[in-house]
Amino acid sequence: MLVVVALVLGFLVWAARRVRRRAGGGSLMNPFDEIWHPIAHHARLTVEVQDELPAPAPLPGDDPPSGSTDHR
């Protein structure tokens, strides 16, 4: 029984290091972060939502972006 617990904990430590090294594949650790590190889970969700939002449209009167070929 103790060997099984040690193996599971060892796997979780290995998975956490691998996920943090790759900096992005949080899907494996999301349930554990949600339980034991809720602030990190909330931050990850916030970043994912912001990544999916479209860029804001330029306002009338704004200068065209640098490198634009539109010279009105």
Domain that holds residue 36: 24-49
Tell me, what DSSP letter sits at residue 53?
S
6 falls within a domain: no
Q: What is the pLDDT of residue 48?
A: 83
65 falls within a domain: no
Query: Measured between alpha carbons, how far is 35 from 27 in angstroms, rounded to an integer?
Result: 14
Total domains in the fold of the chain: 1
pLDDT tens figures, 5-23: 999 999 888 887 776 666 5
Confidence band, pLDDT 50/70/90 cuts, at residue 4: very high
Query: Measured between alpha carbons, how far is 8 from 57 in angstroms, rounded to an integer?
Result: 49
pLDDT tens figures, 31-67: 777 788 888 888 888 888 888 888 888 888 888 777 6
